[in-house]
Amino acid sequence: MKFIAKTLEGLEQTLAEELTDLGAEDVTIIKRAVLFSGNIVMLYRANLMLRTCLRILVFVKEFIIASEDELYAEVKKIHWEDYFSLEETFAIDSVVSSEKFRHANYMSLKAKDAIVDRFREKYGSRPNVDTRDPALRINIHIRNTTVTLSLDSSGSSLHMRNYRKRVTEAPLNEVLAAGLVLLSGWDKMTMLIDPMCGSGTIICEAARIAANIPPQDPEREFGFKKWRNFDPVLYQMVVDEELAKVKTSELPKIKGYDISSKAIEYATVNVQTAKLSDYITLSEEDFFYQEGEENAFLLFNPPYDERLKEKDICDFYSHIGDKLKHAFPGCTAWILSGHIEAMKHVGLKPSKKYHLLNGSIPSLFARFDMYAGSKKQKWKDKYGDQQS
């Protein structure tokens, strides 16, 4: 079987590595997606275990069309009765990027007619459409005149992990948060701190990664569970195999701080819902008054409030840099920010950087290395002894 795993821009390589680790074959990166092949077990495992994937489509057919009628004819040729029965429902989602075909809804309608007519001609009756909760969700992607037809195996988007009951302002997408942890190369042993944790997305994803906890609840209503060929025994075997890999000892310390009491209250609810209270400690603290830490790993996305004046936000980032240099010797800090100008004011040279999209905001994800404890004198000489 051939699959298409969708992701966020900038996380394609990370997703490809996740897929290779899971044993996927023919892993090929394309824009915002990774193609791979494997059997049905791989499909179950990928939906359950991929942390940087938004949804997985099962490839059915690719063809070229010159008109809407050709789409109708090609769709009608497919043996839809093998995929779902008259009593079951279906829905069609179309995405069109073409000079010739501009109306996605019309293309969906044409394809729907083709499926309905095929059933009617064969059985004298037709299946119903249910756009909200269909048994089979069909995906049509039209690029110029090339149509790719696939089935959505995931159901709702895989970024929805269902532990985030409360969110503060500007929460990160869970797929992005997991992607940041994986991109950062964190060794899963060093203490990880998010000093501006908001609703706690980064620390929840980090804890799950460190403990091998599946990103999805095995009870989740994946799209494939409604398919005719769904094999619950095989699926349970995959679940059992993955749950057996969950680590319960030798886990790293993970800490979340935030200046806002509301953020800590929300993060606490989310951490409890994710059943991660044993892994994560939370406390209300102002980063700039924190005692600091040696040899820890920091990963955070500070505010980049567009309402703030440029100077204020740049000052804020420059204080972050001072604090890191002064109170976090030997630490590595990864910062994600949509304020590229402010990032320059951190005042440390990034040792690595990635350009990512946070929602629609082009963002920089950069790594800063602070001098180690043994070089404490060196940075004291350079930056002095003052508290930032």
Ligand X SMILES: C[S@@+](CC[C@H](N)C(=O)[O-])C[C@H]1O[C@@H](n2cnc3c(N)ncnc32)[C@H](O)[C@@H]1O
Residues at the contact surface with ligand X, assessed by CB under 6 A: 168, 170-172, 195-199, 201-202, 257-260, 263, 286-288, 301-303
Q: How far is the CB of 335 from ligand X (least distance, A)?
A: 11
Q: How many CB atoms lie within 10 A of CB 67?
A: 12
Q: How far is the CB of 202 from ligand X (least distance, A)?
A: 5
Which of 132/309 has CB closer to ligand X?
309
Q: How far is the CB of 277 from ligand X (least distance, A)?
A: 18
- Residue 205 CA from chain centroid, whole number: 10
Which of 83/266 has CB closer to ligand X?
266
Which of 38/195 has CB closer to ligand X?
195
Which of 45/326 has CB closer to ligand X?
326
Which of 41/259 has CB closer to ligand X?
259
Which of 252/302 has CB closer to ligand X?
302
Which of 227/266 has CB closer to ligand X?
266
Which of 38/302 has CB closer to ligand X?
302
Q: How far is the CB of 165 from ligand X (least distance, A)?
A: 12
Q: How far is the CB of 100 from ligand X (least distance, A)?
A: 41
- Closest residue to ligand X: CB criterion: 198
Which of 19/313 has CB closer to ligand X?
313
* Beta bridge mates, 193: 255, 298
Q: Are 290 and 319 in contact (CB under 8 A)?
A: no
Q: For residue 274, what are the CA distances in angstroms to 216, 217, 311?
A: 10, 10, 39
Within 8 A by CB and 6+ apart from 72, the residues are: 110, 111, 113, 114
Which of 192/196 has CB closer to ligand X?
196
Tokens standing for residue 244: 């057996």
Q: How far is the CB of 314 from ligand X (least distance, A)?
A: 15
Q: How far is the CB of 18 from ligand X (least distance, A)?
A: 21
Q: How far is the CB of 258 from ligand X (least distance, A)?
A: 5
Q: How far is the CB of 208 from ligand X (least distance, A)?
A: 14
Look at strands 352-358 and 25-30 and give their pairing.
unpaired
Within 8 A by CB and 6+ apart from 121, the residues are: none
Cα separation, 308 vs 42, in Å, equals 47
Cα separation, 200 vs 271, in Å, equals 7
Q: How far is the CB of 168 from ligand X (least distance, A)?
A: 5
